[in-house]
Each structure stands twice: as structure tokens, then as C-alpha cells.
Amino acid sequence: MSLIQWIDFQSLGDKRGQLVAIDIGKEREVPFDIKRIYYIYHTAEDVSRGFHAHKKLKQVAICISGSCRMVLDDGCTRESIVMNSPAKGLLIESMIWREMRDFSDDCVLLVLASERYDESDYIRNYADFIKAKR
Ligand code: T46
């Protein structure tokens, strides 16, 4: 199965523009209860972020402005995808290594998270991640 799992949000467009609504706990488009929302923006040119996995946390990332590249790695396979649609969420399961790069100036990456922030949930060393996957 591909590591790239998109969730297509319905875009409610009319002549004024587009609108995406995510109803929490209703239609369950997002396959977990959202406990935290954060966003990444103004990432400097040539900067890469991420370089970690989460033991428990699941997330849905939505590039609501601009574009960036997301690299996902399950310890066996590495896949890379350009994120540039505000109507598509990328589901990132637990125990997946992620790297983000190629941020456009106007990139805003919104992230819906299944857990509150917990530094002890991070695996920030790739060798430790591979060891934990075995
Ligand atoms: C992820 C990718 C997609 C907090 O205090 N609370 C938070 O909720 C978050 C997400 C971060 N922080 C602090 C921790 C660091 O001091 O903000 C600082 C930057 O976080 P970090 O270096 O982890 O950022 P990224 O862009 O490398 O990774 C983030 C998320 O941390 C991570 O869960 O999956 O975005």
C-alpha cells in the first residue's frame, strides 16, 4: 500500500471563491479525534523540516497556501509528494518518518493532530526509528 494517503475534502465553491469545512466528529473525514491544530508558515528558503517520526501521533496535513514537498518513509519505502491543494489532506500515520522541503514563500501547512504536543512521542534519530520498526 502506498504511504501517500490523501483525504479529499469537499470544496464548496461558487463565483466568490472556494471554502472547505471540516466538521469535527461528524462525517469523520479525519480518521481520529482532533486534539491539536498547528500551522507552519514563513519557512525560509532552502530550509527542510521534520526529520522525525511519532510513536503514537497521527496527523492530517493540508497545504492551505503555496506548496511544499512531503517525504514519507516507513523504514522500507520512501515516497515523496508535492502538496499544493487546500482541498486535500495527507494522512500521516504513526511510526512514519517525515521530512518537508521545497517550501514556497507563501506556503502555509496546516496540521490536524490526534494528540496534544508531547516531545516524548518524537523519534528524532533515523537509526532509532529503523530500530523501533524492527
Ligand atoms: C510534524 C511536522 C509535520 C510545540 O511547542 N508545540 C507543537 O504543537 C509543535 C508542533 C511544536 N512545538 C515546538 C517544538 C519546537 O520547539 O515548536 C518547535 C518547532 O517544532 P518542530 O521542530 O518539531 O517542527 P517541524 O516542522 O520539524 O515538525 C512539525 C511537528 O513538530 C511534527 O509533529 O509531524 O511538523
Model pLDDT for residues 35-82, shown as the tens digit of each residue: 999 999 999 989 999 999 999 999 999 999 999 999 999 999 999 999
Tell me if 98 sits within 8 A of 52, measured CB to CB: yes
Q: What cell does 72 get?
A: 514519507
What is the pTM for the complete model shown? Answer: 0.96
Give me the residue label for grid cell 469523520: 28
Whether 52 is catalytic is yes
115 pLDDT band, cuts 50/70/90, is very high
3-state SS string over the chain? CCCCEEEECCECCECCECCECCCCCCCCCCCCCCCEEEEEECCCCCCCEEEEEECCCCEEEEEEECCEEEEEECCCCEEEEEECCCCEEEEECCCCEEEEECCCCCCEEEEEECCCCCHHHEECCHHHHHHHHC
Tell me if 64 sits within 8 A of 108, measured CB to CB: yes
Pocket of ligand 1 (CB under 6 A): 36, 38, 40, 49-50, 59, 61, 98, 111, 117
Which ligand 1 atom minimizes the distance to the CA of 122? 33
User: Per residue in 38-49, pLDDT tens?
Assistant: 999 999 989 999
- C-alpha to C-alpha distance for 90 and 3, rounded to whole angstroms: 10
Please name which of 35, 33, 27 lies closest in space to residue 8, comparing C-alpha atoms.
27
> How many angstroms is it from 39 CA to the middle of ligand 1?
9
